[in-house]
Amino acid sequence: MNMTRNGARMVAAAVIVVPLLFGGAFAAQADDAGAAPAYAAKSTGTRDLVAGDVRIRMLLEASNLGDAGVELGELSLPAGYSGSDAHAHASLEIFYVVEGVLGHEVNGRRYELHPGEVGFVKPGDEVRHSVLSPGPVRTLVIWVPGGEADRLVEHAGFAVQPRP
């Protein structure tokens, strides 16, 4: 599958999933004069979170949304990634697989997520991820509410790399 098709899948997933989850929660509010909202309604990413070969390109978060209600990142796991330790999040965590096969273990139950499939983890549940395909995995990851990116930096050893 080429990068153009993968990119189209990611955009389609974000366009479909985010409005379904949040409805009008992030609707732009113009002032009384009808002026356009004061934010850039486009993002190529705000920062990269990196831990070894694992990379999360943060696409939407409080710094560009102006609200911590949701975060959206592109998670890249390398081929052969044997798995994270089981861990929990304070937020609902949703994965949309764009490329590869993601091992998605929730509370000890194992799932295989293929391109076009969605997996999720409720707050407090134990989750573990691995790469089951011969190549890398790319997913969109959505956290509701936001704040998980900062928790990954503070508690899980991720380093921040600013986006160019």
Domain presence at residue 147: yes
Work out how many domains the chain is built from and give that number.
1
Domain presence at residue 40: no
Can you give the residue range of the structural domain that contains 61? 3-23+45-162
Distance, CA of 89 to CA of 125 (rounded, Å): 7
Tens of pLDDT, residues 7-50: 545 544 554 455 444 444 444 444 455 666 667 788 889 999 99
CATH number for the domain spanning 74: value is: 2.60.120.10
Distance, CA of 164 to CA of 148 (rounded, Å): 22
Look at residue 142 in the predicted model and tell me its pLDDT. Answer: 98
Cross-strand pairs, 58: 47, 73
Domain presence at residue 34: no
In the predicted structure, residue 85 carries a pLDDT above the cut 50: yes
Domain presence at residue 152: yes
- Where is pLDDT greater, at 90 or 4? 90
Pair 71, 111: CB distance under 8 Å: no
Distance, CA of 83 to CA of 88 (rounded, Å): 14
Domain presence at residue 33: no
Determine if the pTM surpasses 0.85. Answer: no
Distance, CA of 136 to CA of 99 (rounded, Å): 7
Tens of pLDDT, residues 41-75: 888 899 999 999 999 999 999 989 888 999 999 99
Pair 101, 68: CB distance under 8 Å: no
Distance, CA of 108 to CA of 50 (rounded, Å): 26
Domain presence at residue 32: no
Q: With bands split at pLDDT 50, 70 and 90, how would you rate the model's confidence at 6?
A: low
Domain presence at residue 30: no
Domain presence at residue 117: yes
Shortest CA distance to 102 belongs to which of 136, 69, 74, 127? 136
The overall average pLDDT reported for the chain is 84
